[in-house]
Amino acid sequence: MKTLFLSFAPPEKWRDGKSRNIESDEWQIIRKKILERDNHTCAYCGYKSSKYQIIDHINGNPKNDKDNNLQVVCQMCNLIKHSGQGCEIRGIVDLYKESKYPQNAIIKITRKMRDEGRKDNEIINVLGLKGKSPFKMDRNYLKKLFGFITSRRGLQEGGKRDMYNSWLDYHNKEIKR
């Protein structure tokens, strides 16, 4: 698995709403091919799901759809990779200076403990997260921090259904089966 670090997409790389319709047939063909190639499995934490996985542009360029620039990423790892979105826009990621575990393990342990019904404070204690820190658009600063995806519900964007919360609802139903 690849090592996961906190990062962000620079504003100049953000999709402007004109770049591509992610519902287009063209994108859906690309998406399906990458999901099948990677067996619907997140490149960072190994989470496998047939729904709500993201096709991520490795180099951050949403116009580079070459196979070697695309990977499957789960909702949680995507919030860490794009921590500005998770911290500032969605309001569900908290940053810390210290952890007993690397970022990839934080995701796995958080998902497992949350599936067991554990609360954020219990998970934070197990992970040894300390020194809460603010988000800054500075990759060197972020690389020294650890992200924790809280149980707070994500903020909605312009009335659109939040994809992370849709995944979370789906995931919770799946683990109860």
Q: CA torsion angle for 171, 103, 41, 30 (degrees, to 10)?
A: 100
Q: In terms of domains, do 54 and 127 share one?
A: no
Q: Look up tokens 């219990």; give the residue.
A: 122
Q: Is the pTM of this model over 0.85?
A: yes
Asked whether residue 4 is domain-assigned, the answer is no
Q: What is the pLDDT of residues 115-160, one digit of tens each?
A: 999 999 999 999 999 999 999 999 999 999 999 999 987 665 555 5
- Write out the DSSP string of 116-151: TT--HHHHHHHHT-EEEE---S-HHHHHT-EEEE-S
Q: Which comes out higher in pLDDT, residue 117 or 23?
A: 117
Same domain, residue pair 58 and 38: yes
Domain boundary pick from 55, 79, 103? 79
Per the structure, the count of domains in the chain is 2
What are the backbone angles phi and psi of residue 109, rounded to the nearest 5°? Answer: -65, -45
Domain assignment of residue 5, yes or no: no
Which structural domain, as residue segments, surrounds residue 127? 82-175
Q: Please check whether residues 71 and 88 belong to one and the same domain.
A: no
119 and 147 both lie in a single domain: yes
45 and 91: one domain? no
Same domain as 104, residue 58: no
Are 100 and 161 members of one domain? Answer: yes
For residue 38, give the DSSP letter. T
Residue 3 lies in a domain: no
Q: Which of 36, 57, 79 is the last residue of a domain?
A: 79
Average model confidence (pLDDT) for the chain?
Answer: 89
